[in-house]
Chain A
């Protein structure tokens, strides 16, 4: 088979974090190559390098015999690399037809947009892909999500692609559309297009892959033909990282049930989920991106409204109308995205810590009791060892890890009964990470019910007394004690049973 894309020694770091290290593979013309790996294994970074979104720090790429060094996604596209991202961008107020041809509208000799030719090409494309032609005239925002995704796949396919990259394209498609997609991939491969297919679903492998590679911690952990695609063997390649032993974890003495959900359902995100968290224990919540973990947390915190099921907090029914209700019940939530949802960048460290606590620090006439506020902030800066020169130091001057500790302090200052943390250590240096992990175990041991949402499996295994695994909105497994192993969590995540 003629190689269409070969990659060697590819590396990319973001700051101190190595996302991809020394990865090499060859994709043949007409070959379908599946890329597997855990969350954060480097799959997305790898395809973004090929697609010209990130320049690599090192390594070589050869596309159809010529060096491939795209300066932008536009040049990569012009060179024949077409991508459908997991969350692709499109133009919601324009028709499907226009979405197909933005930036490359067919023109007539007078330089006018040639609507008839555009229409003709669009119809031909949709017929070829077996997509209903009448969708072309509909506005993009009037389509269902699956129809939108199909239109975007069509856009990627219409480009004269040498390499087509599909990043988890089936996550929002219905079964019928998935079959249609497989057919499209099949036809393209027969036409000589190389297909890179990112997936988390083992059951798809036999349909879409001739060969697969496995990434682990940014490195190539395996490269095998599909005939040797044995689930156990793949899992073995994906797992096997050392568990962080730096955390000391005394045995939990779980108290009474502080948080309980039963049959909880949020349309499009969470279905029929039962979960309990007791005082004194750390409960981990694992799952792939889009499995519904964050949505579950947001529902407990009153941001999302469940359509069915019940929640109880400390035995009492919990029907929050918003985050204020949840906070009044003693629930604290540390959101996933520190920069946009947590830190108040214009303010100093002190004010960031006391922000939620302020109503309790008001004196007569509603004036803030400054001395008390300062004392509170200082005590937390000391207890969590936040490296701030003074409480008045601007919070944006702190390192990422210490910004996160500041947010942690803000939530702890409210003395919550239930503490929910979403990706508490993402993008943080190792030392601070270990420190935060240690703290959250201690917080639990002091009697708080702690729920940790994380994509970092070694982290979850290190801090959790129990782990729930979500898969496609449902609870796939609850693991504790000797059953709580990396292998077991991965199996539940992928939907593979022994």
Chain B
């Protein structure tokens, strides 16, 4: 009998494409480090690298959270303003004399509650994640402005591990970040919850047909983003030392940049937090190295924006090539 020809010649090129998607970031990261080591004096010093870690620890936790919902084929663009609200509440409680451990717990719970608003609207209200979180971002911004009430809140680190403290030159927040990424990487690989995120991001309807609780899992992911924002908010307070009217707003774009540059697909279903850590390193070192070279920090926006656009373009183009093979079946 005859059958339609099967384009098996496609398979090796598809494997090459998958390989390229995985190998691109490590190559770029190495190139970046070599470039700045040569071009920017002091870049590779322990003191500078420790500074980079301290300055990007809060961003790292936001990016970790965003990774979870991007894997679901969702997004959260409210993480920056959400951080602002939690930072104000945490700093205010701390200054008022509340015991530090309690401040930490309340911040995490508050973040989780704000994340639950996003999750509830996305899952229960069936509103697209980008619109939902654009809306809540605007609300969080306004709430912070009202809470701020023309008065900056000055506060130091709530606990030493969430501030610029170092032990033997190693910044303690760096250890916190590593611990969080380690736990999330474990969850994504070895817990059923993590595997479900991937399945939903690939094909939510197909996952439902195979018995995956799509709504519950998605909701939990948005709550988890909020809880991570809660911890990040206190790191922000420890780093900046003051909560102002627009606190956190500047962090949304670099958080998403770290995720997409890291190689988690903006279309969902592939990636992970360790990739995001790589993407974050790329973005943070880029911003740092450029400043060391004497370029005004004003240009950071251009660099991060360009990195996002290029990363997403690469993602979408290569994925379209892979998907052609799937679509060809119909």
Contact = CB atoms under 8 A, between A and B. Distances in A.
Contact of A113 (B5, B195, B328): B195
Chain B: interface size category:
35 or more
A145 interface: yes
A90 interface: yes
A166 B14 CA distance: 28
B146 interface: no
A360 interface: no
A90 B3 contact: no
Interface string B15-28: 10110000000000
Contacts of A94: 198-199, 202, 269-270
A58 to B, nearest CB: 25
A222 interface: no
Contacts, number: 131
Contact of A145 (B203, B208, B329): B329
- Name the residue in B5, B15, B210 with the highest tally of chain A Cβ atoms < 10 Å from its Cβ: B210
Given A145-B7, A268-B328, A103 B14 contact: no
A103 B207 contact: yes
Contacts of A251: none
B2 interface: yes
Contact of B269 (A91, A112, A171, A267): A91
A111 B192 contact: yes
- Name the residue in B199, B328, B330 with the highest tally of chain A Cβ atoms < 10 Å from its Cβ: B199
Interface residues of A, number: 47
B11 A89 contact: no
- Name the residue in B189, B322, B323, B330 with the highest tally of chain A Cβ atoms < 10 Å from its Cβ: B322
> What DSSP secondary structure best describes chain B's contact surface?
helix
Interface stretch (A172-180, A232-240, A278-286, A381-389): A172-180
Contacts of A105: 192, 195
A170 interface: yes
A141 B323 contact: yes
Interface string B258-296: 000000010001100000000000000000000000000
A289 to B, nearest CB: 10
A472 B2 contact: yes
Contacts of B2: 472
Interface string A78-116: 100000000101111110001000111101000111010
Given A89-B203, A103-B199, A142 B212 contact: no
B326 interface: yes
A145 B207 CA distance: 21
A357 B1 CA distance: 47
B211 A74 contact: yes
Given A111-B191, A175-B1, 13 more contacts: A87-B330, A90-B206, A92-B202, A94-B198, A102-B199, A113-B194, A141-B326, A142-B15, A148-B326, A170-B3, A268-B7, A269-B4, A472-B3
16 contacts: A72-B209, A89-B205, A89-B206, A91-B198, A91-B207, A92-B322, A104-B210, A112-B191, A113-B195, A141-B326, A145-B6, A146-B6, A172-B3, A172-B329, A268-B4, A268-B328
Nearest first, the 5 A-B pairs at minimum CB distance are A103-B210, A89-B206, A91-B202, A93-B270, A93-B269
